[in-house]
A and B are shown apart, each in its own frame.
Chain A
Amino acid sequence: MADTNLETKWIGDGADMEKIKSDLLTLNMGPQHPATHGVLRVEIQTDSEIVATARPHLGYLHRCMEKHSENLEWRQVIPYVDRMDYLAAMNMELGYCLAVEKMLGTEVPRRAEYIRVMVSELQRIASHLMFFGVYAIDLGAFSPFLYAFQDREFILRIFEELSGARLLYNYIWLGGVWNDINDDQLRRIETFLDELDEKLHKYHNLVGENHIFVGRTANVGVMNKDYCYQYGGTGAVLRGAGVDWDLRKKRPYGIYEEFDFNVPVGEGTKGTLGDAWDRYWVRVREIWESIKIVRQCLEGIEEGPIMGKVSKVLKVPAGEVYMRTECPRGELGYHLISDGGKTPYRLKVKSSCFTHTSMLVEVAEGQMIADFVATIGSIDIVLGEVDR
């Protein structure tokens, strides 16, 4: 609601507020707008340049994925979960497969585990590079986008060789992975990582240390620790608020406990702890950590089968499971209920983008519209995962 303090701030004390009271203007941001990262529509009540209230309207990309999965066999669900977060499809598949495997008690071969970790970390790099480029575009810088896409392209090509698809892979299957990786690909990944490791310093100096970029992001969209807990914020949003929380460390899944890496957290370097710049910096440092993990994979990968034993006509024993994994955008949870049949009885996806969208409402109040765009960009949502 229009706060009179805002008005006195701009007009000055002693003015006859009754006569010059400004009206609130309703402004629709989206659903078709590049700054909303897809089809998010936010109904904003603006008081001149200041956001008085913001109301997100979801559902423009609602494809009833949860309803569909009730009619699909366990394996057939995998391509559908790909389409939730289409920028991190490998991580989506990994979570679903781990949830079903937990119910089945399937053993995954070592080589498949290594490939899984490798592809999901490469996907994390690709997703964060996408964030890096798109966030710069949100704030008015075009060229970082081109740099980021050049490097992302390499990862997509490797994935295309592995799975046959560039974005929606259907690569991680129940019990293992679909296709083996060869030595040539491993070697190329190694060279690529060496290059990216160096280039990333350059990219960060170009964007992150840029005076305008810092001005646009520091002290903007501050989400502190308690705010994150209240709304269930996870991932880079929570780590940006200075909380050392990464599921790969805290509740390791797969073979993540064997790897040595750090969890970057926000420190309030350029402004307040938990601002947009901190979230940016956490993500960029996560790329280096992912590079570390993939390098350890390349060293430790073992020969062997890539598929465990899973029966052809698959029936999952009755029961329920909640499986959380750390995705590029935050925690992804699959709440799976089985009645012992060939299809899931109920599949509920806990999406981090969904919870982060609900966090926008309170942060937006009192912000400039341009800062609100910077806030939406910094939480890095994908609407496919919000609406499912």
Chain B
Amino acid sequence: MHSEWTSKINAAVSGANAEHVAAEVGDDTIFVASEKILDVCKYLYSAEGMEFNVLQVVTGTDYEDRIEVSYVLASFINNLELILKVKLPKASKDATPELESVCSVWKAANFLERETYDMVGVIFKNHPDLRRLLCPQDWEGWPLRKDYVVQKVYAGMEVNPAHKINTADIYFGEKLKSSAADPKKFSYSWKKPEFYPEGAQTSSTTEGE
């Protein structure tokens, strides 16, 4: 089904360079050229036999050299589902790549693209109202990038002050570990000591014990 769609997209939109990636596990995907995303979406919205009339997801995934933006389309007319993806190369670590907005095709894209902009830092051109959605407007950085570090100060307040970080799990984890039969096999938290800022108590001296 996907390979048929791929050839249809290539035939209808010149320069789309649609490419079918068959998956060993999970779902197949179709990659298209990022410049042609709006044309491809317009085509998929109205093409006979597909008619993807609902946009379910727009999201970005951060990789070292690129950001992949996924569009999950669904057809409630023909009961179909498609994961459409584009690759956006990142020039540098903090670069914010640009992509054409698909708000003119589905109105659902408005909020979804705002969330993607907020979380991954992809700029959507011709978006009617591109502001942050979940974070405050003056937040810094793109939280769902892999190299994201939380800013130290926000609006005059210290973010994650050391004395407010809950270390109870570390304390009880260590306590349990010391009594475990084989301490090497025992794990209690994904938080490594370097996760905590300087000054946070990660030893067994928690107050109120």
Contact = CB atoms under 8 A, between A and B. Distances in A.
Interface of A: 58-59, 62, 64, 66-67, 71-73, 76, 102-105, 229-232, 243, 245, 250-251, 317-322, 324, 331, 333, 335-338, 345-346, 348, 350, 354-355, 357-358, 387
A319 B85 CA distance: 13
B83 A59 contact: no
Given A59-B134, A335-B57, A348-B59, A358 B27 contact: no
A333 B72 contact: yes
Contact of B143 (A67, A104, A358): A67
Most buried by B among A66, A76, A232: A232
B110 A358 contact: yes
A317 B72 contact: no
Given A71-B190, A232-B55, A335-B59, 8 more contacts: A62-B135, A66-B119, A103-B25, A103-B26, A322-B27, A322-B56, A357-B111, A358-B111
B79 A350 contact: no
B200 interface: no
A95 to B, nearest CB: 13
A350 B134 contact: no
Interface in B109-125: 110-111, 119
Contacts of B76: 229, 243, 245
Interface of B: 23-27, 29, 53-57, 59, 61, 70, 72, 74, 76, 79, 81, 83, 106-108, 110-111, 119, 133-136, 143-144, 190
Given A232-B55, A232-B56, A319-B24, A67 B144 contact: yes
B108 A355 contact: yes
Given A232-B56, A333-B56, A345 B61 contact: yes
B72 A230 contact: no
A58 B108 contact: no
Contacts of B81: 322, 324
Nearest to A317: B25
Contacts of B24: 317, 319
Contacts of B54: 229, 232
Chief secondary structure at chain A's binding surface: mixed
Given A67-B144, A355-B111, A105 B25 contact: yes
A350 B61 contact: no
8 contacts: A58-B133, A59-B133, A66-B119, A230-B107, A231-B108, A232-B56, A317-B25, A335-B70
A67 B55 CA distance: 23
A75 to B, nearest CB: 12
A348 B57 contact: yes
Contacts of A102: 25-26
A198 to B, nearest CB: 35
A103 B25 CA distance: 6
Nearest to A320: B26
Contacts of A62: 134-135
A359 to B, nearest CB: 9
Given A59-B133, A230-B108, A317-B24, A76 B57 contact: no
Contacts of B53: 229
B95 to A, nearest CB: 19
Nearest to A335: B57
Given A245-B76, A320-B27, A350 B133 contact: no
Given A67-B143, A335-B70, A58 B134 contact: yes
Contact of B135 (A59, A231, A321): A59
Contacts of A243: 76
A322 to B, nearest CB: 5
Nearest to A340: B25
B70 A230 contact: no
A267 to B, nearest CB: 19
B195 to A, nearest CB: 9
A99 B70 CA distance: 17
Nearest to B70: A335
A321 B144 contact: no
A59 B56 CA distance: 20
Contacts of B133: 58-59
Contacts of B119: 66
